[in-house]
């Protein structure tokens, strides 16, 4: 039999954060335009501090009607790097 001096205090609380990337992007863009007038540098790691697991979900924007493949790739390039 194994004895331990540590007391069991129940299950550990786990904190999860779910981020809707599309909505967050719109809120950041609005704050940039309305309050600051400049692009904001967002520290996404800081947003997740204090959480055990962070889930970020978003998708690439669709190709615009009549947009060439090269123009589309240029437009989404930064987003692909971010993901």
Residue pLDDT, tens place only, 15-44: 999 999 999 989 988 988 888 888 888 888
Cα distance from N-terminal residue to C-terminal residue, the chain: 50
Whether 51 and 17 have beta carbons less than 8 Å apart is answered as: yes
**Is the whole model's pTM more than 0.85, yes or no?**
no
**φ/ψ of residue 2, rounded to 5:** -105, 130
Strand partners, 17: 54
**φ/ψ of residue 43, rounded to 5:** -95, 95
pLDDT for residue 4 is more than 90: no
Could you tell me the residue ranges of all domains in the chain? 16-82
């Amino acid at each position: 039999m194994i004895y331990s001096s540590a007391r069991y205090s129940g299950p550990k609380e786990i904190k999860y954060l779910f981020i809707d990337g599309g909505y967050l992007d719109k809120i950041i863009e609005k704050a940039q335009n309305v309050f600051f007038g400049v692009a904001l540098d967002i520290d996404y790691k800081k947003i997740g501090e204090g959480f055990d697991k962070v889930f970020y979900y978003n998708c690439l924007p669709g190709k615009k009607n009549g947009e060439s493949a090269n123009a589309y790739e240029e437009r989404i390039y930064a987003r692909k790097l971010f993901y």
